[in-house]
Amino acid sequence: MQKRIEWIKKSLTTCLTACLAGGLLFSGCAGRGGEKVNEIQIGVVVYDEYDTFISQLMNEFMEDVSEQIKNGKRISVKRYNAAGNQITQNEQVEEMIEKGCNVICVNLVDRTDPSMIIEAARKADIPVIFFNRELVEKDLMSWDKLYYVGADAFESGIMQGQIAADAWFENLETDRTLDKNGDGCLQYVVLEGEAGHQDSIVRSEYSVNALVDAGIQVDKCESSIANWSRAQAQTKMAQLLNKYGDTIELLLCNNDDMALGAIDEMKAQSIPREKWPVVVGIDGTDVGLEAVVNGDMLGTVYNNKEGQARAMLQLAIYAVTGEGYEKLELEDGKYIRFPYMRVTNENIGEFTE
Ligand code: GAL
Ligand code: CA
């Protein structure tokens, strides 16, 4: 109780300082608990700020915040990078709470281990919006002020497989170059993200399922973990090329960065493009889209970072002020998930404008 009072005092002081500094006096709004809230102070921590998709998602989020500030909302953001360490992230969340944040957005390092964060937030009665790295349902359901914003991983895998399946069938009608060894079977490799990440697990499985569902006979060379990383994927691709030469026909990559890493290696070895496997990614990052435009990648699956960033902010505003509930499409009062979109050279223009 004493701690809570201290926290309230501290946040009031911070708010007041902010008010005076801004030379503004404003009425404030009722929070979810009915108390007056003067400023939305968001603490955000990412698992790794060098992850391409995450850094683009954060850029969107910060742009949305600026937009809201322009429209007169009082919002401040404290940003943290956990640099791949869950213990660091737990400490950063405690610091956010101490510094008076009244809502917290967490991109978990270890999605199976949110317990310290949930405990600290619950004690201080501060809502938490988890994003991108999905915690298990039981944890999310353990308190009513916990939310998750992300996308539907199953869909991304299915769409990736469908892009490859369409190309296979189309190619059967033309020069049949995709089936390099002419055995009627698709020899593929999967480059996987982090072990245990919901997106790696689901995408790896469902992309292949989609090929099989389309009626294609598949033949797995192997799957190889490259932790979402372009550099690691390049190393893995070097090993795969050593082992399989140019017999791989399809490279299913759990994200664009790994697809690009594999492409980096094929370019480094001066392998002509007609000898490359077909490469498909997921995310539609700027560099990923560029690779679809120039034909290095057959396609990608768009991970709607704009939608996710916007939903995170709307949810943060709602969690603190109680405003804007009607704009949120909350599933089970907890989840906001954005659909993915297929991207190939047929519709790439819609994404690069
Ligand atoms: C995925 C994304 C990856 C990586 C990962 C981090 O959704 O496709 O590129 O950013 O999240 O958790
Ligand atoms: Ca073949």
Q: What is the pLDDT of residues 277-313, one digit of tens each?
A: 999 999 999 999 999 999 999 999 999 999 999 999 9
What is the pLDDT at residue 171?
97
% of the chain with per-residue pLDDT over 70: 90
pLDDT at 9 over 60: no
> Is any atom of ligand 1 closer than 6 Å to the C-beta of 133?
yes
Q: What is the pLDDT of residues 332-345, one digit of tens each?
A: 999 999 999 999 99
Q: Helix (H, G, I), strand (E, B), or coil: what is residue 161?
A: helix
Q: What is the pLDDT of residues 174-222, one digit of tens each?
A: 999 999 999 999 999 999 999 999 999 999 999 999 999 999 999 999 9
- Shortest CA distance to 80 belongs to which of 60, 110, 101, 63? 101
Cα 231 to ligand 1 centre (Å): 15
Q: Can you tell me the distance from the alpha carbon of 28 to that of 20, in angstroms, rounded to the nearest whole number? A: 14
> Is any atom of ligand 1 closer than 6 Å to the C-beta of 132?
yes
> Do 304 and 340 form a contact (C-beta atoms < 8 A)?
yes
Q: Can you tell me the distance from the alpha carbon of 38 to that of 321, in angstroms, rounded to the nearest whole number? A: 9
pLDDT at 5 over 90: no
Cα 258 to ligand 2 centre (Å): 23
For residues 23-32, give the mean pLDDT. Answer: 44
> Is any atom of ligand 1 closer than 6 Å to the C-beta of 255?
yes
- Atom number in ligand 1 closest to CA 150: 7
> Is any atom of ligand 1 closer than 6 Å to the C-beta of 64?
no
Burial of 190 (0-12, 13-18, 19+ CB in 10 A): buried
Cα 220 to ligand 2 centre (Å): 11
The overall average pLDDT reported for the chain is: 92
pLDDT at 17 over 60: no
> Is any atom of ligand 1 closer than 6 Å to the C-beta of 130?
no
The structure's pTM equals 0.90
> Is any atom of ligand 1 closer than 6 Å to the C-beta of 60?
no
Quick one: which ligand is closest to 55's CA? Answer: 1
> Do 345 and 295 form a contact (C-beta atoms < 8 A)?
yes
What is the pLDDT at residue 38?
76
Q: What is the pLDDT of residues 141-184, one digit of tens each?
A: 999 999 999 999 999 999 999 999 999 999 999 999 999 999 99
What is the pLDDT at residue 309?
98
What is the pLDDT at residue 32?
55
> Is any atom of ligand 1 closer than 6 Å to the C-beta of 338?
no
pLDDT at 263 over 90: yes
